[in-house]
C-alpha cells in the first residue's frame, strides 16, 4: 500500500459516495430525470428504478475497486489490516509509520474510519433509496434489500459496536446511535422480513427471478437468498449466545428448521464473481502481489502444517525454500524485503471470486448448536464431519476421511525465519493442542474447541468473521502481538476487541457519536468489549 495515497483516496471515495447520496436522494427529481429520456413509468419497467441500487450495495459490502489500481486500499484498511491480521489468517509484510499502525495497536484514524464510511456512504444510501421506492409497492424487492442491509451492518457493528440504525434516513441533524443489542434486534428483524417476504413470493411465483439483472450474487434466485438469510441468522444467533442464550437458541432453531433452511451444499455459497456486469480484481491479489503488503499468517502455518491439511496448497503458495512460512501479526519489521520474498504468498488470482458465506460454516455452527442441546437437525459429531468434508469439497481437496479420523496431529511450533524472537516453540502455552478427530465422550469445551478451530480454517479468507468469532469464543488460540504500541490501552494477551468510532463522526456528528459512546459500556478505544463479547 502506498501510505501517502491512502488518505487522499479514501477521502475521494467518501466525496464520491457523498455526491452519489446527494444525487440519489436529496434532489432526485431535479438532477436525475432527463425530460427527453427515461420517465417514471419507464423506470418502473423491469424494476429498473430500484434494481440499479443493488449492485451498489453488493459491491461495497466487501469493497471492490471498480477501476484498475484504484480503490483496493479501501479493502486493505477496512478488511485486511483489521480482521485478516487480527484473526491470524494473514500477516502484514510492511512496516507503515515505523511499525506504529493498526497491526501493532497504534490505531490510525484514516484506517479505522474506512469500514464505517463504506457502510454509511455507499451501502446504506442505496438501501434507503430502495426502501423509499419498494417497501409498500414491491415488498419482495425491499425484502432482498433488507437481507443485504443485514449482511453489511452485521460486519460494521461487529467492528465498532453501537451504530446509527433507527435514525438513519430520518433527516435529522444528528444521527443517534443504537446500543449493539438494539442493532442486533434490528438485524434479526430485517432478516425475518426478507425471509418471510421472499418465501411468500417463491410460493406465489415459483421459478420467477424478477431481480436477475441486478443481482451479482445469485442471479435473482430468491430461494438461494432465503438460504443466505437463514444462514446469516444462524451465524448471528451463535454470536450472541453469551449475551442472550435464550434468544440465540430461538433464532438458530428458526433458521435451521425453516421450510427452506440454511445453506447445505457448496452450490448455496454466496460468492461475488466477475460477470453479470461486474468486473474487478480480487483485492487480496492486488494487496499481495501488487502492493506486496501481505503474506500467510503465522497461525495458519501452525495449524495447517501441524494438521497436514490437504487444503493448505489451495490457500497458500510455498515459499522459495519449498516450505510454508507465515508472518506473525504485530511484529517489528525493520526491512520490508525480509518479510516478502521468503514468506508464503496467498494462493489467489485476479479473478478469484470473493466468498461471503459458505455451507461449511453452517455445519460447524449447527454442530455447536447441537453441543448446546439445540435442535439442529443432526448430531454434533455428524455435522462436524460433514462441515470438514464440505470445506474440502469447496477447495477441491479430495476425500476428508483420513483427516477427520486423525486423532494425533496438533498445531505445529512456529519459526519466524527472518527474526527468531517472534517464534513459538514446542510446548509453549501459546500453541493449541487440540486434535481433529471427534470424540463423543469428550467434554463440551473440548468439542467446542474442535468445532471452532475447524470453522476458523473453513471460513478463510474472511478474517473479519474469524476475528469476530475469536472475540466471541476465545478460539482458536491466536498468537498475541509481539510489538504493542497501544500505550497500555490494549493488552497483548486478550488482543484488540473493536475499532474506535471514526474521527469523521466526531467532526460531523458529535452529538450522535456521543450517544454511541454512552451505550458502549466503556471508553471509545480498542480494549472495550462489545455487547456480545463476554464470558459465558
Q: Which pLDDT value is given to residue 338?
A: 98
Compute and round to an integer the Cα radius of gyration of the chain: 23
CB 114 within 8 A of CB 156: no
CB 462 within 8 A of CB 355: yes
Residue 327's DSSP bridge partners are 297
Q: What DSSP letter does each residue of 440-463 carry, written as one string?
A: TTS-HHHHHHHHHHHHHHHHTT-H
Q: CA angle, 125 as apex, 213 and 112 as ends, to 5°? A: 115
pTM listed for this prediction: 0.92
Please name the residue that has the C-alpha cell 411465483: 205
Q: Which pLDDT value is given to residue 171?
A: 75
Q: Dihedral sign, CA of 401, 355, 531, 303?
A: positive
Residue 92's DSSP bridge partners are 294
Would you give per-residue pLDDT tens digits along the chain (536 residues)?
Answer: 644 333 333 333 343 344 343 333 333 333 233 433 434 443 355 798 999 999 999 999 999 876 555 568 999 999 999 999 999 999 999 999 999 999 999 999 999 999 999 999 999 999 999 999 999 999 999 999 999 999 999 999 999 999 999 999 887 667 999 999 999 999 999 999 999 999 999 999 999 999 999 999 999 999 999 999 999 999 999 999 999 999 999 999 999 999 999 999 999 999 999 887 788 999 999 999 999 999 999 999 999 999 999 999 999 999 999 999 999 999 999 999 999 999 999 999 999 999 999 999 999 999 999 999 999 999 999 999 999 999 999 999 999 999 999 999 999 999 999 999 999 999 999 999 999 999 999 999 999 999 999 999 999 999 999 999 999 999 999 999 999 999 999 999 999 999 999 999 999 999 999 999 999 999 999 999 999 998 76
- Element holding 349 (H helix, E strand): none
Residues 6+ apart with CB under 8 A from 196: 143
* End-to-end CA gap in the chain: 40
Amino acid at each position: 500500500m502506498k501510505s501517502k495515497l491512502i488518505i487522499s483516496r479514501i477521502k475521494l471515495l467518501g466525496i464520491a459516495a457523498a455526491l452519489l447520496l446527494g444525487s440519489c436522494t436529496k434532489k432526485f427529481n431535479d438532477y436525475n430525470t432527463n425530460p427527453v429520456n427515461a420517465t417514471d413509468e419507464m423506470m418502473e419497467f423491469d424494476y429498473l428504478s430500484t434494481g440499479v441500487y443493488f449492485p451498489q450495495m453488493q459491491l461495497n459490502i466487501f469493497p471492490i475497486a471498480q477501476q484498475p489500481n484504484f480503490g483496493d486500499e479501501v479493502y486493505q484498511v477496512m478488511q485486511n489490516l483489521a480482521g485478516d491480521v487480527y484473526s491470524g489468517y494473514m500477516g502484514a509484510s510492511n512496516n507503515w509509520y515505523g511499525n506504529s499502525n493498526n497491526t501493532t495497536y497504534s490505531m490510525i484514524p484514516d484506517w479505522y474510519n474506512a469500514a464505517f464510511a463504506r457502510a454509511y456512504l455507499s451501502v446504506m444510501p442505496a438501501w434507503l433509496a430502495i426502501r423509499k421506492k419498494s417497501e409498500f409497492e414491491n415488498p419482495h424487492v425491499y425484502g432482498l434489500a433488507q437481507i443485504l442491509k443485514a449482511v453489511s451492518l452485521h460486519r460494521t457493528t461487529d467492528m465498532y459496536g453501537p451504530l446509527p440504525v433507527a435514525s438513519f434516513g430520518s433527516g435529522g441533524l444528528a444521527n443517534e446511535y443504537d446500543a449493539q443489542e438494539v442493532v442486533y434486534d434490528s438485524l434479526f428483524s430485517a432478516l425475518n422480513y426478507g425471509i418471510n417476504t421472499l418465501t411468500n413470493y417463491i410460493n406465489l411465483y415459483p421459478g420467477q427471478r424478477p431481480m436477475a439483472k441486478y443481482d451479482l450474487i445469485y442471479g435473482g434466485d430468491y430461494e438461494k437468498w432465503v438460504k443466505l438469510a437463514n444462514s446469516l441468522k444462524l451465524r448471528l444467533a451463535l454470536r450472541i449466545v453469551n449475551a442472550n442464550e435464550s434468544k440465540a437458541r430461538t433464532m438458530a432453531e428458526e433458521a435451521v428448521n425453516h421450510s427452506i433452511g440454511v445453506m447445505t451444499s457448496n452450490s448455496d455459497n454466496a460468492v461475488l464473481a466477475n460477470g453479470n456486469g461486474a468486473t474487478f480484481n480480487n483485492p487480496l491479489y492486488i494487496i499481495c502481489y501488487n502492493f506486496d503488503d501481505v503474506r500467510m499468517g503465522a497461525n495458519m502455518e501452525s495449524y495447517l502444517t501441524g494438521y497436514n491439511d490437504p487444503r493448505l496448497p489451495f490457500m497458500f503458495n510455498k515459499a522459495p525454500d519449498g516450505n510454508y512460512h507465515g508472518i506473525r501479526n504485530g511484529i517489528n519489521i525493520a526491512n520490508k524485503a525480509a518479510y516478502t520474498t521468503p514468506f508464503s504468498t496467498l494462493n489467489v488470482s485476479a479473478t478469484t471470486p470473493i466468498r461471503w458465506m459458505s455451507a461449511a460454516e453452517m455445519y460447524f455452527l449447527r454442530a455447536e448448536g447441537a453441543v448446546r442441546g439445540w435442535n439442529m437437525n443432526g448430531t454434533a459429531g455428524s455435522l462436524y464431519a460433514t462441515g470438514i468434508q464440505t470445506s474440502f469439497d469447496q477447495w477441491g481437496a479430495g476425500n476428508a476421511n483420513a483427516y477427520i479420523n486423525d486423532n494425533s496431529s496438533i498445531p505445529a511450533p512456529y519459526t519466524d525465519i527472518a527474526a527468531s524472537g517472534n517464534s513459538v516453540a514446542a510446548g509453549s502455552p501459546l500453541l493449541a493442542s487440540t486434535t481433529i478427530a471427534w470424540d463423543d465422550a469428550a467434554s463440551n469445551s473440548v468439542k467446542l474447541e474442535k468445532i471452532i478451530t475447524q470453522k476458523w480454517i473453513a471460513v478463510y479468507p474472511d478474517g473479519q468473521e474469524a476475528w469476530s468469532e475469536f472475540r466471541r469464543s476465545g478460539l482458536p488460540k491466536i498468537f498475541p502481538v509481539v510489538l504493542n504500541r497501544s500505550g497500555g490501552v490494549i493488552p497483548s494477551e486478550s488482543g484488540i476487541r473493536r475499532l474506535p468510532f471514526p474521527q469523521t463522526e466526531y467532526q460531523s456528528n458529535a452529538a450522535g457519536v456521543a450517544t454511541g459512546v454512552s451505550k458502549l459500556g466503556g471508553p471509545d478505544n480498542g480494549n472495550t468489549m462489545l455487547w456480545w463479547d463476554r464470558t459465558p
